[in-house]
Structure 1
């Protein structure tokens, strides 16, 4: 009898918990894993940390690599500091720790910089402790010279040892990091290779790895995968059609979480990304401010210097329709607030490039009617998912 009441108590608790998460917004404490009901997913400051020898590649190869990553909406940290000392500030070390992935650009004089080598050691510490992904790029330098500290690359390292009078332990830590980096699968630029194609391949590799990481991370959100897949299916990601999909549900069911997860998963496929909490943005600013933010994100900051522009301007429309974009208008609570966007949304095929997609989330289903092509109604957690959350 006691066993029966024990199981009955557990069943009632799960049932009550399911009811709560269907009808209330639950914010987990920082120490607990995120669930589908999380309103704002955890934000990583940078996707990629770029390590490079400034005097070798800053104004050339590395600047082009950074720009290519930026065009793919990949948040990349680049150190613009021209004069470096020996000691790396704590803030930079934290930046390396917070990045999802590090790209190391090995050039001929990379090993002549104690700063670069300190970065390298920290990167491999993060790889060992946190599983951070590392992509080595060998720019006009032989990977075997990096691995064994020989050739002109080894000469640069020898000069550093003499100049800085490194301790044996410090020297060995640098050698170990260089050897470990050169044994990883990376990218090597040959003398006859086009840098543009080389950079394109690196960016593709980074995008692929980040997308895989995003997919793995979503498994920490109970029930998120099936919901993300359903929204992706409605968006028909492989189609060249410009589609608008609505996500509808009561507060706290995970509309924003789903939209953010979809956005993170597919961002590398688009030339421009815009994600805005519609209601919050208009509470703190005006529609004009929101439109300016939209245009600066998708067309570049320089668009703001042209003067007053609207969605009806042919200049804006012509530039937008050349871009494949992904737009999320989150928490739209009033159909009247969408009126300023009607020109873009109603003329979607002439407003955006082929394959562009738009997501609109709302608690009010009427807001989505006559605007979207398809609507996804967010489902509450089923029994198995609720039990996982409870456990």
Structure 2
């Protein structure tokens, strides 16, 4: 039996290592430079695509909306070109295709721009084919007028050569927009409040989309709910919660799902993998990244700042933040952060929360208010996860079930081990 467990350990280690190496080469993280050179540009997938008439709103409303989305760490595409050609570039159409949702800002002269209407047609094509969410914003125009935009659209038809097909596609897109529920600026409503409502709606929809991504993460909901209960989102207390467990047990995944689920409740979000960050950069770079993310890039123009500076602390304590320090592997990593964490109530605004994940429970002691020990998947969850990787959509035979039951009991509910083993055994015979 000892020899069997030794063989299993070697097998798991080899396959996990191969899995990690293959993953890094196939899909390198956007934040980690790849060692491979390629002629293809890196594709950035945006959360939001902003469509707008530059002459109407570029330097006021749309710029303020873009800044508000950026402050919430929502990756938003805004076309900075002030001079546009007649034809919309393929790269821009691809950006619309890959964005999670689109926000067309309708202003008085929106329909006089062939460029804007081309974007709108693409947006609704994406909505029809892939279900992209569209949040129309009616800026100083009535939604009922969008169907026609008579004067602006008539000018476009007069001055541009439009095929009958193009004209119809533009009209259909405008009609589809008017039939959607969106945001309309009231006559006596401050624009700042109007923008806050739009940003809140965007965050809620992005959050709902991220929740759907937990499909296939077996047992995740129970574990996320336990961490949420420890964080006590309703409490005004600044709480620090630790997530502890062995490698591959799902600590990072739980932290990511919690972060995506509650991010709309906070003014600032900071999520960092300590182990990866400190392998590539010194602690000072991590501090600068933290401060620029929460306080704005301009703070870095003031020179080297520490967590003890009153200028920094005065600004931080006005922000309700969610901070996730992932994969903290030793106490030394947290030393520079102790000033902030020990004085949490004077460091951050009421209701702020901190999550720290670690394989070492000693790292969390004397730092956190409470610790959640991540349990392995139970038998049924393990069975489902392994089968989803090893058999895909195939129903297990009696022989399969017997073999899977043995593997599941030996792996003891470690999700990464189940994923790696299941993936490596996909398509293999029972004998293999």
TM-score (norm 2): 0.79
Give 1:48 shift.
1.2
Match of 1:101 in 2: 101
Q: Which residue does the alignment assign to 1:181? A: 177
Kindly state the Cα deviation for residue 190 of structure 1 after the two structures are TM-superposed.
3.0
- How far did residue 71 of structure 1 move? 2.2
2:307 is equivalent to residue 303 of structure 1: no
CA distance in 2, matches of 1:80, 1:271: 26
Gaps of 5+ in 1: 1-15, 31-39
Shift of 1:345: 0.7
For residues 44 and 214 of structure 1, what CA distance do their matches in structure 2 show?
18
Deviations 1:288-347 (A, max 9, x none): 111111111111111111112111111111111111011111111111121111101111
The CA distance in 2 between the partners of 1:245 and 1:190, in whole Å, is 43
Task: After TM superposition, give the deviation of residue 221 of structure 1 in Å.
Answer: 2.2
Distance, in Å, in 1 between the alignment partners of 2:269 and 2:253 is: 16
* Partner in structure 1 of residue 417 of structure 2: none
Superposed CA deviations along residues 263-302 of structure 1, whole A, max 9, x for unmatched, are: 1111121111111111111111111111111111111111
Equivalent position of 1:34 in the other structure? none
- Structure 2 Cα separation of the partners of residues 265 and 163 of structure 1: 49
Paired residues of 1:74 and 1:268 also in contact (CA < 8 A):
no
Q: Could you say which residue in structure 1 is the equivalent of 2:367?
A: 371
Q: Which of the pair has the greater relative contact order for Cα pairs under 8 Å at 6+ separation?
A: 1
Using the alignment, how far apart are the partners of 1:76 and 1:181 within structure 2? 21
Alignment of 1:117-136 (within 5 A): 117-136=117-136
How many angstroms does 1:384 deviate by?
Answer: 2.1
Asked whether the 8 Å contact 1:24–1:252 carries over to 2, the reply is no
Contact conserved, 1:276 with 1:330, CA < 8 A, in 2? Answer: yes
CA distance in 1 between partners of 2:12 and 2:126 (Å) = 39
- CA shift for structure 1 position 84: 1.2
Question: What does the per-residue CA deviation read over 1:114-164, in whole Å, with 9 as the maximum and x for residues that have no partner?
Answer: 1111111111111111111111111111212112x1xxx321111112222
Q: What residue in structure 1 maps to residue 78 of structure 2? A: 78
**Whole-Å Cα distance in 2 between the matches of residues 158 and 28 of structure 1?**
58
Q: Which residue of structure 2 aligns with residue 33 of structure 1?
A: none
Does residue 316 of structure 1 match 2:305?
no
Q: Match for residue 197 of structure 2? A: 201
TM-score by length of 1: 0.87
Contact 1:219/1:225 (CA < 8 Å) preserved in 2? Answer: no
Aligned residues: 359
What is the alpha-carbon distance in structure 1 between the residues aligned to residue 286 and residue 22 of structure 2?
31
Q: Work out whether 1:156 is the aligned partner of 2:152.
A: yes
Give yes or no for contact 1:100–1:132 (8 Å, CA) kept in 2: yes
Residue 334 of structure 1 aligns with which residue?
Answer: 330
- Residue 52 of structure 1 contacts residue 110 of structure 1 at CA under 8 Å; is this kept in 2? yes
CA distance in 1, matches of 2:244, 2:204: 30
Give distance in 2, aligned partners of 1:180 and 1:108: 18
State the match for 1:139 in structure 2. 139
Query: In structure 2, which of residues 231, 234, 239 is the aligned counterpart of residue 238 of structure 1?
Result: 234
| Residue 167 to residue 254, structure 1, CA distance change in 2 (3 Å) | same
The Cα offsets for residues 162-207 of structure 1, whole Å up to 9 and x where unpaired, read as 2221000111111111100110011112333222222222122222
Report the equivalent of 2:273. Answer: 277
CA RMSD of aligned residues (A): 2.3
**How far off its partner does 1:225 sit?**
1.8
Secondary structure (helix, strand or coil) at the match of 1:275 reads strand
User: Which piece of structure 1 moves more, 189-198 or 271-280?
Assistant: 189-198
Tell me the secondary structure at the aligned position of residue 218 of structure 1. Answer: coil
Gaps of 5+ in 2: 1-7, 24-31, 33-42, 389-432
Query: SS at the partner of 2:59?
Result: coil
Give the Cα–Cα distance (whole angstroms) in 2 for the partners of residues 197 and 303 of structure 1. Answer: 26
